[in-house]
Every structure is written in structure tokens, then in C-alpha cells.
Amino acid sequence: MKRRVTSSRTLRAAGSVMDVWPVENYAQYMPKGSDQERIAQHWTTVGSHLRSALSQYAFHHTAKR
């Protein structure tokens, strides 16, 4: 009897790791748009962050002088 409980637990654990039949719809987590669109958006965001960082640096650097 103990062996059957152990094998049942093992199968349940393996199934939860593989998630053969997911409960949720994982499509919402998939990236939207083409690869080129996503890369372009990424670089747009990077450029925005760089401009912001340079503005903050210039503001703090000129304030010290």
C-alpha cells in the first residue's frame, strides 16, 4: 500500500512540473507583435531611459558648480 501512495505522489508531482493540462490560458503571457516590433519598442524604451539619465546627470552636475 505504501508503494502505491508513493508512486501516486510521484506521478502527481511530475504532472505538476510538466503542467500537461494547464488550468490557465497562458496566451496572455506570450509577447505581442513581431520580433522586429518588440526589438524596436525595446530600443525606444532604452533611448528614453538614457535621455532621462543624461538629463538627471546634467541637472545634478551643473547644480554642484
Domain boundaries, the chain: 36-65
Which residue ranges in the chain fall short of pLDDT 50?
Answer: 1
DSSP H helical ranges for the chain: 2-18, 35-64
Query: For residues 37 and 39, what is the distance between their CA atoms, to the nearest angstrom?
Result: 6
Cα dihedral 11, 12, 18, 19 sign: positive
For residue 20, what pLDDT is reported? 63
Query: For residues 39 and 34, what is the distance between their CA atoms, to the nearest angstrom?
Result: 9
Q: How far is CA 21 from CA 2, 24, 31, 57, in A?
A: 27, 9, 21, 51
Whether the model pTM is above 0.75: no
